[in-house]
Amino acid sequence: MVRIDRYDVDGVTLAVRSWPCREAAWPPVVLLHGTGATARDWDAIAAELCAGRTVFAVDLRGHGDSDWPGTYAISGMARDVTLLLPMLTAAEADLAGHSLGGLVACQVAACGQARVRRLVLEDTGVPHPRPAQAPARPAGPLPFDWAVVEQIRPEIDEPDSRWPQVMAAIHVPTLVIGGGPGSFLPQEHVAELARTVAHGTRVTIDAGHLVHATRPGAFLAELTSFLNS
């Protein structure tokens, strides 16, 4: 049964959905969602994964039930997760992130301060400059702070030139899952990421950007095979 806990991380409260596993055969896994999604985005995947491991799904700051402080950066989200991990488990953990969550996971794994055993990046690539296209805010209430888009989007459109060095500093085994030609993310950037990390493996699931939602069975098969190997 899913449990919801809240953790004070350096003045910001982060909400975490967890699926405890009493007889876990594998290390816990921590799941990070993409922009505008929440930890609930992982419910179907977590319900399957928790058969053999404890699963945590984090609401990044500005999303879901976590605090919405109004100030957002990828580095700040990565610091949140780095500080959160030892609160979730004293052991090593596997880390998986989708899109924005994948970039956050990259910084966490690269910093050397978190006990990450294996890394999974879903439709995440090395950021490259692209034309700025500020999206319009959808009408009505949202499950996240729109300021996240306003502040994070420029980081993606005009990325820091040091991103390749960040990826090159990742030395844990890494699985990069691309969404194929149906994704808006250039798949050559996904392939570049798999080449840049020290121990990268790339697979493609023709599902578009939302791989775990569009083809959950195929995503789970690749994820569990990698984490259990």
Segment 55-76, tens digit of pLDDT: 999 999 999 999 999 999 999 9
Calculate Rg over the CA atoms of the chain.
16
User: pLDDT at position 15, please?
Assistant: 98
Segment 193-212, tens digit of pLDDT: 999 999 999 999 999 999 99
pLDDT beyond 90 at 134: no
CA distance 61 to 29: 19
CATH code where residue 219 lies: 3.40.50.1820
Helices and strands per DSSP (H, E), number in the chain: 8, 8
Arithmetic mean of pLDDT, 7-36: 96
CA distance 17 to 25: 20
Q: Which domain holds residue 25?
A: 3-228
Q: What is the 3-state secondary structure (H, E, C) of 168-216?
A: HCCCCCEEEEECHHHCCCCHHHHHHHHHHCCCEEEEECCCCCCHHHHCH
Arithmetic mean of pLDDT, 122-145: 94
The SS3 call for residue 88 is helix
Quote the pTM value.
0.98
DSSP state of 85: H
In percent, how much of the chain has pLDDT > 70?
Answer: 100
User: pLDDT at position 1, please?
Assistant: 83
The SS3 call for residue 112 is coil
Our count of domains for the chain comes to 1
pLDDT beyond 90 at 51: yes
184, amino acid identity: F
Residue 98 tokens read as 């989708």
pLDDT beyond 90 at 173: yes
CA distance 211 to 189: 16
pLDDT beyond 90 at 133: no
Segment 210-226, tens digit of pLDDT: 999 999 999 999 999 99
**How high does pLDDT run on average in the chain?**
97
